[in-house]
Amino acid sequence: MRARLKIHHKVMIAAVAAITMLLLLAVGVFAYDDAQKDQIAPGISVGGVEIGGRDADSARKIIKNEVVAPLKEPVVVRFDDRDYRIGPKRLNTTADIDGMVEEAIDRSREGTIFDRVSRYASGSEVNEDLEPRVDYDPAAVQSFVEELAADINQDPVNASIVPSSGGNTLRPESGKPGIALNEDEMYDQITEAAATPGRDAVVEATVTKTPPDITKKELAKAYPRVITIDRATFTLRLFKKLKLKKKYTIAVGQAGYDTPSGLYTIQTKEVNPTWYVPESDWAGELAGQVIPPGPGNPLVARWMGIYNGAGIHGTNETGSLGSAASHGCIRMAVPDVIELFEKVDVGDTVYIQ
């Protein structure tokens, strides 16, 4: 009986000792875990800057010096060897250093106490790169992108035709594509750079080429009919699909009332037009009057207006053809002007040399 009591007593002592050891171990584990509450687990970084294995104060200094300080440098965007800068003042850049440290500590203490103690014991790493808590003004970025676009964008240039000297032929000229900044992509790249520590790389502006509305192959379709007027030789030429179809002898404006040179279009077409006489000494007593169609109207048969009162019309004064005789208009023989009138439309191109 006494032997049994001794055995039972020894078992009790052993059990108490074991429980005591477990309690002491548990207390030690909790105490050790509590001691680590201000420590950042190995492998944690912020914006690529390593802060793992350090306490909160040390991590705060590293973040301030290596994450936040570099953000004071401007973001540089480069296009065609030209640099554009937007600095932290305009961006209104701010950084939450305490928030970054707290997030690192929270990430370090994820899981159960046993998970953490096991990690402490094994020296394993968390391996997580946290995003820097950096704020900036999105409106400032957007306005900067719009300024970039205004400076970089170029409109495309349509293919065109150029008459030769004298207007005998039409020379096609190729167009040129435009340039358009990819604004959404630039916004994303600039905002990423604005929050990236130690940014050394220049942001290269990305653009898209914009094609012209009219290419060289489309010129004949874009210019189905073209009139050229050579004042020196008193010749009007009609081109269809860029090929010469007919030429006519004309009269042009006399000295002091020159037919205007340049590029125009046919703006109006009228059969038997009314003449609104210009206020000019050239018109004599008729100046300022309105002359209806008929024998007293020098705008005979047809009218094709091209610019500010100047136009192409028929005349009964056929002796003036081949000379500078009009008040600025282009005169044609009546059969010729009727023929031309039927072959052209409003909007057709007129080159006057």
Domain ranges for the chain, please list them. Answer: 2-72+94-123, 223-352
Task: Write the CA distances from 179 to 76, 142, 185, 187, 328, integer angstroms.
Answer: 20, 19, 15, 17, 42
Would you give the distance in Å from CA 24 to the centre of its chain? 69
9 is catalytic: no
pLDDT at 269 over 60: yes
pLDDT at 179 over 70: yes
Task: Write the CA distances from 253 to 122, 166, 220, 247, 312, integer angstroms.
Answer: 101, 17, 31, 19, 11
Over residues 129-148, the pLDDT tens digits come to 888 888 889 999 999 999 99
Q: What's the mean pLDDT in 149-156?
A: 97
Task: Write the CA distances from 27 to 21, 32, 39, 228, integer angstroms.
Answer: 10, 8, 19, 103
Over residues 34-78, the pLDDT tens digits come to 555 778 888 899 988 898 888 989 989 998 888 888 777 889 999
Q: What's the mean pLDDT in 288-303?
A: 89
Q: Which residues pair with 269 in a beta bridge?
A: 304
8 is catalytic: no
What are 85's two structure tokens? 């800068």
Question: Where does the pLDDT of residue 196 fall: very low under 50, low under 70, confident under 90, or very high at 90 and above?
Answer: confident
Going by the DSSP 8-state scheme, the letter that residue 41 receives in this structure is P
Over residues 303-312, the pLDDT tens digits come to 999 988 899 9
Among the listed residues 235, 238, 257, the one whose alpha carbon sits nearest the alpha carbon of residue 326: 257
Q: From the candidates 8, 9, 327, 329, which is the catalytic residue?
A: 329
Superfamily of domain 223-352: L,D-transpeptidase catalytic domain-like (2.40.440.10)
Is residue 107 within 8 Å of residue 126, measured between CB atoms? yes
